[in-house]
Amino acid sequence: MAWMWTCLKVIAFAIFSLTVKMNDVWHPISELPVGCAHDALPGNHSGIKVLIIGLAKCGTRTICHALNEVGVRAYHSEDFHFLPWWDFVHDVRKEGGPHAQLPAALLAQEMLQDQALAGRLMQKISKCRMGAVALDGLEILTEPIIKHSPGAKVIVLNWRTFPEWKKSLEKFIPKLVVMCLHNLFTGASLGLLPWLALLRPLDRLLSSPVEGVLREGGPPITEVSGPLMWMYHQSLNHRRQYECWAEPTTTVYPESEDDFKSFYADTMKHFSKDDIFEWDPRKNTMTELCKFLGIEPCPKTGKVPRAINTWIFERDFPIAAQAVIVLRFFLYWVNWKLFAALLSALMRCFRKSKSE
């Protein structure tokens, strides 16, 4: 029976830790200043030169890696959530105006009508100087971004049929849920007590591997993530990213073949034929990518290697990930010891006051 009691206590402690983390109790002291540091471009131009239009599971990650390899700073949606998107949401919420209470997804929807709001997001985007972006999970921002990126080209990932895509997505969603829960639960030890607040002085001590990237806007965290950046990014995911996926969502999820086709067609009609590349990751090559973008000489040749799609941050940055996971469990142990000590001190006080 004793083991069951211990088990229950451990579960209760993990849930308690998660609750504290999700309420962002320590964020005011652990979050680094938000926002990339470049000057915004004039006229609310996003500065984006290549848009990647593809639903999740259509190879957005693969093409982002390829673009970075040929020298275009391509943001995958995680990078976008983590930097300009959060800079924007944070700003709107801080100033407390009419949009401050909106969930992130409704704020995104609002941008379809509200030009001033869209303009503000574009300023945040251009401050990060990203050359390309894949908006899977943020499809709702496609229109406003196209509107503010005149002269951009588009890579369209419409190579999968609707049934193929649907099957792939349905297989992926349960995995995604497990990955998110894993990140939330293991990461909760860093949210129960203000451990993350130690990151900033440590970062300064190590000549700013985190703050430097946050200001510069690169390299994208999906391309390069050292242990400190890994820890910081994963600790903020629930705020900056997961909120967008929850209902009401920023995601477009076509329910039928027609919806699926019109998602792509509606985007493509904003571009001239020469500015569209219907990319098929099974066939197209680096050389073709360079040619489309006018990059000469092309630094890479051959087929584009397929990107990892599950446990990406763990598998793309294994050393950073292992180091942080070990730290997370270690801090669970530390938190547990501290709370046990606190509890027994309280009990002693209570007994003493009763016996007096």
Name the site residues for ligand NAG (rule: CB under 6 A).
Answer: 43-44, 116, 119-120
Provide the 3-class DSSP secondary structure of residue 95. Answer: helix
CB distance 234 to 90 below 8 Å = no
Q: How far apart are CA 287 and CA 299, in angstroms?
A: 9
Q: What angle do CA 133, 136, 139 make, to 5 degrees?
A: 95
> CB 120 → ligand NAG: shortest distance, Å?
4
**Pick from 112, 118, 113: nearest CA to 44:** 118
Note if the bond before 219 is cis, omega within 30 degrees.
yes
Q: Provide the 3-class DSSP secondary structure of residue 98.
A: coil
Q: Is the CB of 147 or the CB of 300 nearer to ligand NAG?
A: 147
Nearest Cα to 280, choosing from 158, 161, 169?
158
**Pick from 299, 312, 267: nearest CA to 155:** 267
Buried b / exposed e across 70-102, counting CB within 10 Å, b at 16+? Answer: bebbbbbbbbbbbbbbbbbbbbbeeeeeebeeb
Q: What residues have CB less than 8 Å from 144, skipping those under 6 apart?
A: 111, 112, 118, 121, 122
Other beta carbons within 10 Å of 172: 15
Residue 293 and residue 153: Cα distance in Å, rounded? 8
| Secondary structure element (H or E) that encloses residue 50, with its range | strand 50-53
- Name the β-bridge partners of 208: none
**Burial degree of 309 (CB within 10 A; 0-12, 13-18, 19+):** middle
State both tokens at 312.
Answer: 């990406």
Residue number of the CB closest to ligand NAG reads: 119
- In angstroms, what is the minimal distance from the CB of 116 to ligand NAG? 4
Among the listed residues 268, 55, 44, the one whose alpha carbon sits nearest the alpha carbon of residue 149: 44
Q: Is residue 77 a contact partner of residue 29, using CB atoms and an 8 Å limit?
A: no
Task: Select 44 or 235, whichever has its Cβ closest to ligand NAG.
Answer: 44
CB of 248: closest distance to ligand NAG in angstroms? Answer: 23
- State whether residue 264 is helix, strand or coil: helix
